[in-house]
Amino acid sequence: MEGNRTGVEVEIMMLEYIKTIFIGITAMAGIYFGWKQYQINKRMKELADYVAVSIIPLPGFQLQIKNVGRINLYLHKWEVASLQETYVKPWLLPVDAKSSINLSFSSPPVGQHLLKLYLTDENNRKFLTTGEVVIEPVGVQIPHSSGPSQPPISDQPTSSSPQVSPQINVALRMRAWAYKTERYDWI
């Protein structure tokens, strides 16, 4: 009689059923563990390839650009207000904290301006660093004369010379900072 099973056969079937359930749970736990490990490894790689730039204003209206991330960067182009420069061969910004690039402004634009740095990394991924440059007047200097000016004494006949007004010097201060560096597919 096949319909009647003995207790031993039932126990064997129950053990096979429990074994199958255990194998299924183990497989699901392995898949879950593998997925979590993949996410952890992906995040660790993102942290290892961390991209960040620091902008430091220097005397003489210069900006010092430093790579403070963890991967070498290449500067292709920069823009501040109407000033910009594109490089035929990009400048290397190595990870080394001692290395930097200085950008100079011969005629600094007074006011508050958006700064853009167009960068690539070693893997040719493109990034855009945005920041701000503020050039503001902080003082005015007017030359003072010590008394009424007298014409120089000479034996030459005098001619009427134009009056030179005192030159006014405006002291300017530059502040600069970076907001963020993000992946951006610039052309």
Domain boundaries, the chain: 48-143+170-183
pLDDT score of 1: 47
Span 48-143+170-183 CATH architecture = Sandwich (2.60)
pTM of the model: 0.64
pLDDT score of 92: 93
Helix (H) or strand (E) holding 152: none
Q: Which residue has the tokens 């034996």?
A: 155
What is the C-alpha to C-alpha distance for residues 149 and 151, in angstroms, rounded to an integer? 7
pLDDT score of 162: 53
pLDDT score of 45: 75
Q: Which residues of the chain have pLDDT under 70?
A: 1-3, 47-48, 97, 144-166
pLDDT score of 120: 95
Q: 42: which residues sit within 8 A by CB, 6+ positions away?
A: none
